[in-house]
Each structure stands twice: as structure tokens, then as C-alpha cells.
């Protein structure tokens, strides 16, 4: 759900009238073959993202699972970029964001809740965070939560320019955090390690450094490896919100 408020506009999907997402049905299908549609293609993409990771998912891999050729998919989805946009729209439509009747007294808590909700979705659907990177939300589904986030910021008295830039950094932070978790888990699996086992390799790296050459790093060894993923994520969200509060006075 990357906001990218300061990016140049991109050309809307040619198949989309206005801002609608093209949830259109495919043509006739053979016996035992799933009828192609954008929904079906996105379903398969999200399953493959979970099982194989972002880089392994292609139009060809999706077509193979559906028992057809890539050319059949292009009648519904123009290319990988559009597929990423559709996955982004799907994830955004699943996110719970308070309606635009926000509570000015707890706007900061609401923004933190939105961050945790988005991270929860990215974790439930591995690989989808990568689909949001460099991706301008251009559908109703993707733009709806963005509208609500900005409504919360405005209710909290955040100046418009600060709100716009915060929105971009906020969405980048959440997606990047989730994306790094995906990469971390993928590397652990490749090394036949559990996540806990992979993490256990980190503290000794700092603890065994030369205190003469790296006096600050060795003194921070405990702090650098302290806290779980949720604690670190919440720290980053709070850091951004407190910075926004300080700017608005």
C-alpha cells in the first residue's frame, strides 16, 4: 500500500474505466480447467508468493498452475507490474482502517493500530509486501485505506505537507519491515534453520568482536540484539509518530 505521494503519476491500467479494478471474467474454459479471471490469477499469485517467494512468481508459473499458457493470462493482466498492483489492491482491501470519523484525541494511537494491522496482513500473506514497493496505488481498493489514513492525520491537526510525506514514509517503513522479515525467513529455510536458530547466530557476532577495534559495538552488543520483532517494529512506528508530534507542536 505504498503511498508515494511525491512520485510522478503513472499511466492507469488501460483496461480500467476510471478508478475501477478490472475484476472481469475470462472466456470459455475447457473441462476441468479453472475459468480464468483476475480474481483467480491473484489467488494463485498470492499462494505462490507464500510458497515460493516473490522472485519465483512469474506469469508463466501462474499459468502453469492454472493449466494454461501465459498468453491466456495477458488477456486479464497486462504484465507483472499490473499483477503487483492487483495484489496490492487485494491486500489493501483486507486492511481494517478506522472510517473517516477519527478521534482527534487518539489519532496517534489510531495510526499505530493501522501500522500493526498492515504488518499483520503482510505476515499472513508473505511476499505481498514486495508487491507494494515502487507501486503507486491506483485503484479504489488501494486508495480507500490511504484516504482514511490521511483523514486520521488531518483530524490530529497534522499539517497537510507533513501528513503527505509522513504517509509515504509510514507505508515504506511497514512494507520494508515486512519484506525484510520475508527475506530473513527465506534465508533461514535455505540454510535448514528455524527462525530462532538463525537468530541465535547473531549475538555471538557482536559479542566476539575485538573490543579494541570496535569499543562502541562491543559495549552495545546486548542492546543491539535485544527485543523481538514486534518490539522493534513498534519502536520504529512510535519514533515516526513522536517526530510528527514534535513538528506540529
Q: Is the dihedral of CA 99, 39, 60, 10 positive or negative?
A: negative
Q: Write out the DSSP string of 184-237.
A: HHHHHHHTT--HHHHHHTHHHHHHTS-TTT-HHHHHTHHHHT-S-HHHHHHHHH
Question: Model confidence over 152-192: pLDDT tens digits?
Answer: 999 999 999 999 999 999 999 999 999 999 998 888 888 89
Domains of the chain: 38-198+227-248 (1.10.357.10)
Cell numbers that stand for 78 in this block: 497486462
Statement: residue 138 has pLDDT above 50: yes
Residues in the chain: 249
Decide if pLDDT at 24 tops 90. Answer: no
Residue with cell 527475506: 183
Model pTM score: 0.82
Q: What is the rounded CA–CA span in Å between residue 27 and residue 40? A: 13
Specify the pLDDT at position 189: 86
User: What is the pLDDT at residue 19?
Assistant: 37
Helix (H, G, I), strand (E, B) or coil at 37: strand
Q: What is the pLDDT of residue 18?
A: 37
Alpha helices in the chain (DSSP H): 38-52, 59-65, 70-73, 80-94, 107-124, 128-132, 140-155, 160-190, 195-200, 202-207, 215-219, 221-224, 229-248
Q: From the centroid of its chain, how far is CA 99?
A: 21
pLDDT in tens, 195-237: 888 888 899 999 899 999 999 999 999 999 999 999 999 999 9
Amino acid at each position: 500500500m505504498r503511498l508515494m505521494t511525491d512520485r510522478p503519476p503513472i499511466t492507469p491500467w488501460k483496461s480500467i474505466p476510471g478508478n475501477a479494478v478490472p475484476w472481469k471474467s475470462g472466456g470459455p474454459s475447457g473441462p476441468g480447467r479453472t475459468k480464468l479471471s483476475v480474481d483467480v490469477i491473484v489467488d494463485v499469485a498470492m499462494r505462490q508468493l507464500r510458497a515460493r517467494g516473490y522472485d519465483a512468481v512469474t506469469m508463466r508459473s501462474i499459468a502453469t498452475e492454472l493449466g494454461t499458457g501465459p498468453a491466456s493470462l495477458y488477456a486479464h493482466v497486462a504484465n507483472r507490474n499490473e499483477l503487483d498492483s492487483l495484489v496490492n489492491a487485494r491486500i489493501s482491501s483486507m486492511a481494517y482502517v478506522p472510517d473517516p470519523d477519527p478521534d482527534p484525541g487518539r489519532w496517534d494511537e489510531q495510526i499505530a493500530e493501522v501500522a500493526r494491522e498492515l504488518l499483520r496482513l503482510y505476515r499472513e500473506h508473505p511476499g505481498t509486501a514486495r508487491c507494494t514497493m515502487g507501486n503507486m496505488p491506483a485503484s479504489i481498493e488501494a486508495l480507500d485505506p490511504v484516504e482514511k489514513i490521511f483523514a486520521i492525520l488531518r483530524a490530529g491537526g497534522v499539517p497537510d505537507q507533513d501528513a503527505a510525506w509522513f504517509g509515504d514514509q509510514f507505508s515504506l517503513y511497514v512494507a520494508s519491515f515486512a519484506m525484510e522479515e520475508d527475506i530473513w525467513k527465506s534465508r533461514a529455510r535455505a540454510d535448514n534453520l528455524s527462525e530462532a536458530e538463525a537468530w541465535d547466530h547473531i549475538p555471538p557476532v557482536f559479542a566476539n568482536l575485538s573490543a579494541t577495534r570496535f569499543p562502541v559495538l562491543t559495549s552495545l552488543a546486548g542492546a543491539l540484539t535485544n527485543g523481538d520483532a514486534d518490539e522493534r517494529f513498534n519502536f520504529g512506528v512510535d519514533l515516526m509518530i513522536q517526530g510528527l508530534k514534535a513538528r506540529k507542536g
